[in-house]
Amino acid sequence: MTTTQVPVTSPPQTAAEILDRAKALAPVLRERAAEIERARTLPADVVELLRGTGVFRMCFGEERGGPGLTSMEQTQVVEALAYGDASAAWCAVIGANGGIYSRFLDQGVARGMFSSIDMVVAGLLQPSGRAERVPGGYRLSGRWSFGSGVNHSDWVMSGAFVFQDGQPYASPDGSNPHESRQFLVPRSDVDVLDNWETTGLCGSGSSDYTMTDVYVPEEHTLTFDTVKGTPGPLAQPDSFTRTMCGVPLGVARAALDHARETALKRFDRMTGTAWADTFRVQVTLAECEAEYNAARAGIYAAMTRQWEVLSAGGTLDDLTRWERAACPLSWVHAFRTSRRIVDRLYDLLQAWSINRSSPMDRWLRDTTTLCQHLIAHDRILQSAGAYLLDSKPEFGICLGIV
């Protein structure tokens, strides 16, 4: 196992500092990618290297002494980390959500829970557990899948349906016949199952985890329809999903650069023609670059427009129907386009792609696995399409609807 010494530096205070540190860490992550993959979770010193970049604090605003990165700046940081290793970047984007979740908690409680703005969160928000109401809080039990980064997390947030006296609990205002909430518990209250054996994102440690009758005080729970902290662009129901697309974009950029560098060194064995002079190579690289540029531009255009409206004091309802749908549509497009780019470049490099020593092998598996996440599913397309047609989205939270 490789152990990388963590330099002692002051915490980063700006978006530029965090991005610079993420870019500097990328070559180290690339060098250690095979080790991370074998471990099936992030080694402890890699977690500290990520913490040193400031990525886990990037969603905390100035009211907590954080850098308060915009969604666009966050995505750039995630891209930079994914250029080195997809699993590390995936854990980073999940782990950084504490600064978002804390906006939906009482602020005194949030300060106590997140005593450091560099703490890490993990967990599955889908209501897969059962929470029985008891005096002062809940008793939480269940099994949750895909706990990316749960092994090194400080807090685990999990969705669950609420029950009272064994019966489904209805919201007092009648808005929900069976209420669900999010529950934050210390990592020490969670049992992790060592079952993360996957095609790609192997190093993310996205294992299942369980809890049995864990007491969660009321103040450690939240719903995304109630902001208790400072309002703003990150105090929105869709905030935690926006920057995930930075992972596939970063991988696609890495694959494009690798393919170009490889092509510049290769010659056709039969004809002696340089790959750089070959029509097939030229066209493939150009088409992949075009797809990448379009997908990335779509992400940043939609995200920037959303941020402009929200930072000016508006709400998601102030976006046009097409502007609001553009964000989730751009996420799906980025995931699927990145996978398609890696697949085409894998074929372009032919037998040089197939060995485990080739980064193309890992990128192919990582993008395949990334596209199995809900954020890249047809359910997102259905939700955006239904919204455009004034029908009912299946997964409204991707549009900020709760």
Q: Is the pLDDT of residue 4 over 80?
A: no
- 8 Å CB contact between 201 and 37: no
Region 256-284: what's the mean pLDDT? 95
Q: Is the pLDDT of residue 8 over 60?
A: no
Distances (CA, A) of 334 to 217, 232, 292, 383: 39, 25, 8, 17
* Residue with more model confidence, 98 or 270: 98
- 8 Å CB contact between 99 and 66: yes
Q: Is the pLDDT of residue 136 over 90?
A: yes
- Work out the pLDDT band at 257, boundaries 50, 70, 90: very high
Same domain, 374 and 246: yes
- List Cβ neighbours of 137 (8 Å cut-off, separation of 6 or more): 215, 216, 217, 218, 220, 221
Q: Which residue has the tokens 């075009």?
A: 290
Same domain, 373 and 263: yes
Region 104-114: what's the mean pLDDT? 97
Q: Is residue 229 part of a domain?
A: no
Give the angle subtended at the CA of 200 by the CAs of 262 and 22, to the nearest 5°: 65
Q: Is the pLDDT of residue 397 over 60?
A: yes
- Work out the pLDDT band at 6, boundaries 50, 70, 90: very low
Same domain, 322 and 390: yes
Region 234-245: what's the mean pLDDT? 96
Output the six-digit token pair for 132.
Answer: 């029985």
Q: Is residue 232 part of a domain?
A: no
Burial of 368 (0-12, 13-18, 19+ CB in 10 A): middle
* CATH code of the domain covering residue 389: 1.20.140.10
Distances (CA, A) of 380 to 71, 90, 326, 330, 396: 19, 19, 11, 10, 9
Q: Which of 113, 147, 172 is the last residue of a domain?
A: 113
Q: Is residue 230 part of a domain?
A: no
Q: Is the pLDDT of residue 147 over 80?
A: yes
Distances (CA, A) of 247 to 64, 168, 373: 27, 38, 12
Region 146-167: what's the mean pLDDT? 97
Same domain, 94 and 131: no
Same domain, 64 and 167: no
Same domain, 151 and 95: no
DSSP conformation letters of 77-101: HHHHHHTT-HHHHHHHHHHTTHHHH
Q: Which of 177, 195, 222 is the last residue of a domain?
A: 222
Same domain, 83 and 141: no
- List Cβ neighbours of 51 (8 Å cut-off, separation of 6 or more): 118, 120
* CATH code of the domain covering residue 182: 2.40.110.10
Q: Is residue 8 part of a domain?
A: no
Same domain, 140 and 48: no
Region 114-140: what's the mean pLDDT? 97
Same domain, 201 and 249: no
- As for how many domains the chain has, the answer is 3
Looking at residue 221, its pLDDT comes to 98
Q: Is residue 163 part of a domain?
A: yes
Q: 3-class DSSP state for residue 213?
A: strand
pLDDT tens-digit map of 24-78: 999 999 999 999 999 999 999 999 999 999 999 999 999 999 999 999 999 999 9
Burial of 145 (0-12, 13-18, 19+ CB in 10 A): middle
Looking at residue 173, its pLDDT comes to 79
Q: Is the pLDDT of residue 226 over 60?
A: yes
- 8 Å CB contact between 139 and 214: yes
Region 139-160: what's the mean pLDDT? 98
Q: Is residue 3 part of a domain?
A: no
Output the six-digit token pair for 399.
Answer: 């549009």
Same domain, 285 and 175: no
Q: Which of 187, 222, 257 is the last residue of a domain?
A: 222
Q: Radius of gyration over alpha carbons of the chain, in Å?
A: 22
Cα–Cα distance, 163 to 156 (Å, whole number): 21
Q: Is residue 182 part of a domain?
A: yes
Same domain, 247 and 348: yes
Looking at residue 318, its pLDDT comes to 98
Distances (CA, A) of 195 to 41, 84, 137, 251, 318: 11, 25, 31, 25, 44
Q: Is residue 5 part of a domain?
A: no
Looking at residue 7, its pLDDT comes to 52
Looking at residue 245, its pLDDT comes to 98
Cα–Cα distance, 374 to 261 (Å, whole number): 33
pTM for this entry: 0.95
* CATH code of the domain covering residue 46: 1.10.540.10
Output the six-digit token pair for 235.
Answer: 């105090």
Q: What integer best gives the mean pLDDT of the chain? A: 96
- What sections of 131-234 are H helices per DSSP? none
User: Which DSSP helix (H) or strand (E) runs through 39?
Assistant: helix 33-39
Same domain, 150 and 104: no
For 47, the domain range is 15-113
Q: What are phi and psi of 166, to 5 degrees?
A: 80, 0
- List Cβ neighbours of 208 (8 Å cut-off, separation of 6 or more): 143, 144, 145, 146, 147, 192, 193, 195
